[in-house]
Structure 1
């Protein structure tokens, strides 16, 4: 149970930081016991990379939806472009849903390990 910094993002995600202190189990110099405990939590104002990727995909999806609406208002002459944009929106929605589900699964796993300990 060696101690590490814990960085907490604004989006509730976190990551392990630098090593801070040995525990009583480890007596060898330069070695850690393998179990990580929080020495201190450092709040960060930015979002994690996963959230930034999700937001980027949401912006791309919104731009495609805006393009579709604009092309349909202009008379729907660009049918191939509209269909391609709709396919892109469906693909982006699937990717966003998968990324959010992965993030939620990670939080559920952490919550289960905390309850079991």
Structure 2
């Protein structure tokens, strides 16, 4: 059970920081026992990379939706562009869903690590 810093983001996500202290189980220099305990929590005011990616994708999705609405108001002459944007929205939705799944998986791991 070696000690590390933990970075806690504003969104609630976290990541391991720098190694700080060896535990009593590990006697070899430069080696760690593999178990990580929190030495100090560093609160980071910004969101994690996954949340930033989700926000970016949501902005892209909103831009595509606005574009579709604009093309639909102008009539039926942009049908191919509308179809292409609809496909792009579907792909962005899949990417957002995968990122949200990744966040849920990471948060579930925190609970599992706390129980063991």
For residue 88 of structure 1, what is the aligned residue in structure 2?
Answer: 88
> Counterparts of 1:51 and 1:72 in 2: how far apart (Å)?
31
Q: Are 1:12 and 2:20 counterparts? A: no
1:66-85 to 2 correspondence within 5 Å? 66-85=66-85
SS of residue in 2 equivalent to 1:29: coil
Q: Distance in 1 between matches of 2:55 and 2:76?
A: 29
TM-score of the pair, normalised by structure 2: 0.92
Superimposed CA distance per residue, residues 56-97 of structure 1 (whole angstroms, 9 cap, x where no aligned partner): 111110000000001111123211101110111111111111
The separation in 1 between residues aligned to 2:32 and 2:59, in whole angstroms, is 43
RMSD value, Cα: 1.2
TM-score normalized by the length of structure 1: 0.91
Cα 1:85/1:100, change in 2 over 3 Å: same
Distance in 2 separating the partners of 1:80 and 1:44: 45
SS where residue 96 of structure 1 aligns? helix
After TM superposition, where is structure 1 displaced by more than 3 Å over at least 4 residues in a row? none
Shift of 1:100: 0.4
Consecutive unaligned residues in structure 2, runs of 5 or more: none
